[in-house]
Amino acid sequence: MGKLLVSNLGYPRIGFDRQWKKCLESFWQGSLDQEQFFKDMKDLRIANLQKQKDLGVDWIPVNDFTFYDHVLDMAAMFNVVPKRYQNLSTAPVSLTTYFAMARGTQENVACEMTKWFNTNYHYIVPEYEQGVELTLTHNKPLEAFLEAKQQLGINGKPVIIGPLSFAKFSKGNYGTLSKYVHKLLPLYIQTLQELSAAGCDWVQMDEPFLVVNITNEDMELLKHVYQEFKTAVPKLKIILQTYFDSLENYEQIIQLPVAGIGLDFVHGYKENLKSLETFKFPEDKILGLGLINGRNIWRCDLMEKYKLIQKIFQFVPAERIWIQPSCSLLTTPVSATGEKKLAPFLRNSIAYSDEKLVELKHLADACNKGLDSVTEFFNEAAAALKDLEDERLKIKINFSLENLKSIGIERSESFESRFEKQRASLKLPLLPTTTIGSFPQTTQVRSARNKFKRGALSSEEYEKFIKEQIEKWVRIQEEIGIDVLVHGEFERNDMVEYFGEKLVGFAFTSNGWVQSYGSRCVKPPIIYGDVSFKEPMTVKETVYCQSLTSKPVKGILTGPVTILNWSFVRDDVPRNEVSYQIALALRDEVLALEAAGINLVQVDEPAVREGLPLKKIDWSDYLDWAVKSFRLATCKVKPETQIHTHMCYCEFQDIIQSILDLDADVISIETSRSHGEMISAFEKFKYSKGIGLGVYDIHSPRIPSKEEMSDVLTRGLKVVDTKLFWVNPDCGLKTRTEDQTIAALKNMVEAAKEVRERLIK
């Protein structure tokens, strides 16, 4: 039997100590010049490659590293640059232009940002404009290939987003998808020809859209494109890589003129295995066997994976199999070696990116050298998973999906009835203004929180500091003229981790960082067991805030589906069961806020859309339990208590009915980053409850003018009932500076007043 090889699809770019984030932010702040920026980034890139080489990966990905986002890299490489940025530099796509597309400038808004399939990673949406000449500005995959070869002797596997998927990621006035792909095709061919000439053997062409419902026209286009590749670069071997679900059109795609096909045997396990059993696998191709879950942090059942490999051997011999993660390790932390504070049962049962590559290496050894060669490692993993199971039993609660049937999920009165009572109680003006929840997490705020966690600041000192910050921002909000205030969330490190720390069933890492967007990294909590409520989590700070002002204050919570989707979740029970447990725990918090006199409660659900399954056939089941989870958490309040929710940076058009079904009194939703396109969805769908269409993009440092925001409001009022309309930014303000926040909010309030006065006249 031939040798089984280990392949990786992509490695986390952020570094073990988030060096990537720190380098980026230092450069943006001007404390790092461009030459040092390039050097530091190269050092990290080389270190990432060296580590994979040391861990025994046979096919190491290159070109998976980026200065911001890999989709943005492709846009820059092909000059898919909107005209509004083209006066920033004489170079085709300078670093200034690149970061302007990602973050915006004071003169120009950033490109749209949206979720990478059903993950919490955000990519920059390429914008094509007529009149912009597409050209290969630089061959980034070639540069990455040569660097790895020259610096480390690695014959790497360049990772490139395939033309069909890149086109589908894009937006703009490019005509039909086919026309756009044909504009891109010569640039792809040039890229591949230069790689082949440099001695590159394999290219990983990522086509993740092949697991989504693709059309017959897409399929014909795909056949044409890959035949063109085969003709233009006959010696270069392409592995067509898919992930996140099972392959659509399996029988046709396996006939494409490529040298390999990568399939996800974790999230697409059943259907991909069924396709393999039914249609077999071509004898002239490599199978990329996505064996290890690239999106979660649990050690795998190695014997179960070994048995799966043996099953696959019935269809494909070992010498034509690469075992690999189910997807890029982009959304998995770097290494678990830093997790010294986790309880032993958890520390021993997790596997971050490095540990997943070690698992793959041992599975390859088990097949290549025999099970005896890996007995100790296999036994250790099995014992760790058994310890985890035993600990879960210790916090088991009396919960089942069956007993949910006896718990109602309906508000006691209709929205129309609630609306009148809330209007009478709150006495808010037309177009009330508010914010989403968080205010700037300054160096001072982060320092105080870190000191408190280290014990360098007492509970009394820390509480005094938090109260000072709350009072400071209450006064700022009052001075600006905001109608509904928030306390600012200064005590919260993260909108999910904070709540997890106060609920049973969660654990927290020291170094489990993953990239969310740009330099923004998050540290998802671990849901390892049954979830339950312990004690109030937000009441103290919210009530204190309310005591400082006569204006209404919103309590701010993170919703059950978002907590679920932004955590590393146990994989031994269904996800909907975990979501319901979180919802019931949050219900206690919502009622505690209400009992304390807080009659506006915002339960944020930005991750509902991102968790949507990729295949439409699976949507209804997911949306059913997602809606039920939200309503479980919020339905027991009095009619006078106004329930808000918030969503951002996703394409919500497909789930507007489910958003309405949440039965929230008010939803705030992003519209600015998508350049107001979300508003058009409400031209087709009559939304009958309160809604705030975010009037400016908080992820960009630019401060939009009052006139810009007035334009967004004016357009929104054409499709939303005036008496239901709220005015707010499109997300929380924790990443902005104090000056940026105050200036933008002043413009927002002035815009609201101006439009309000026009309406009253």
How big is the CA angle at 676 (ends 674 and 680), to the nearest 5 degrees? Answer: 110
- Helix (H) / strand (E) containing 746: helix 738-760
Helices 706-716/738-760 angle, 10° precision: 50
Instruction: Judge whether 568 and 296 are in contact, CB under 8 Å.
Output: yes
Instruction: Judge whether 181 and 226 are in contact, CB under 8 Å.
Output: no
Given the residues 70, 122, 362, 699, select the one marked as catalytic. 699
Helices (H), 170-246: 177-197, 216-232
402 is annotated as contributing to ligand binding: no
In degrees and rounded to multiples of 5, residue 600 shows phi and psi of -130, 125
Locate tokens 């270190």: which residue?
Answer: 47
| β-strands 237-241, 113-115 pairing | unpaired
521 is annotated as contributing to ligand binding: yes
Using a CB cutoff of 8 Å and minimum separation of 24, what contacts does 740-747 make?
740/701, 740/703, 741/439, 741/440, 742/476, 742/480, 743/703, 744/696, 744/698, 744/703, 744/704, 745/435, 745/477, 745/480, 745/482, 746/480, 747/696, 747/703, 747/704, 747/705, 747/706, 747/709
In degrees and rounded to multiples of 5, residue 170 shows phi and psi of -85, 165
Q: In this structure, what token pair is assigned to residue 33?
A: 């010049």
Q: Is the dihedral of CA 485, 488, 492, 493 positive or negative?
A: positive
111 is annotated as contributing to ligand binding: no
The verdict on whether 699 is a catalytic residue reads yes
**Residue in 356, 358, 372, 368 with CA at minimum distance from that of residue 318:** 368
730 is annotated as contributing to ligand binding: no
Q: In this structure, what token pair is assigned to residue 746?
A: 């002043």
Q: In this structure, what token pair is assigned to residue 71?
A: 């989709």
Instruction: Identify the DSSP state of 662.
Output: T
How big is the CA angle at 129 (ends 125 and 133), to the nearest 5 degrees? Answer: 110
703 is annotated as contributing to ligand binding: no
Count helices and strands in the chain by DSSP H and E runs? 26, 23
- Helix (H) / strand (E) containing 159: strand 157-161
- Three-state SS at 118: coil
Q: In this structure, what token pair is assigned to residue 521?
A: 């990294």
87 is annotated as contributing to ligand binding: no
635 is annotated as contributing to ligand binding: no
640 is annotated as contributing to ligand binding: no
**Residue in 125, 93, 169, 120 with CA at minimum distance from that of residue 520:** 120
**Residue in 113, 224, 225 with CA at minimum distance from that of residue 169:** 113
Q: Measured between alpha carbons, how far is residue 197 from residues 150, 190, 234, 369 in Å? A: 15, 11, 11, 36
248 is annotated as contributing to ligand binding: no
CA-to-CA distance for 404 and 406, rounded, in angstroms?
A: 5
489 is annotated as contributing to ligand binding: yes
566 is annotated as contributing to ligand binding: yes
CA-to-CA distance for 544 and 70, rounded, in angstroms?
A: 44
- Helix (H) / strand (E) containing 240: strand 237-241
CA-to-CA distance for 201 and 154, rounded, in angstroms?
A: 12
Residue type (1 letter), 501? E
CA-to-CA distance for 629 and 574, rounded, in angstroms?
A: 14
Residue type (1 letter), 110? A
CA-to-CA distance for 329 and 48, rounded, in angstroms?
A: 12
372 is annotated as contributing to ligand binding: no
In degrees and rounded to multiples of 5, residue 569 shows phi and psi of -100, 140
Helices (H), 370-482: 375-394, 415-426, 443-454, 459-480
Instruction: Judge whether 6 and 59 are in contact, CB under 8 Å.
Output: yes
604 is annotated as contributing to ligand binding: yes
Annotated binding site: 21, 120, 436-438, 489, 520-521, 566, 604, 646, 648, 661, 670, 731
Active site positions, annotated: 699
Numbered residues of the known binding site for L-methionine: 436-438, 489, 604
Write out the binding residues for L-homocysteine.
436-438, 604
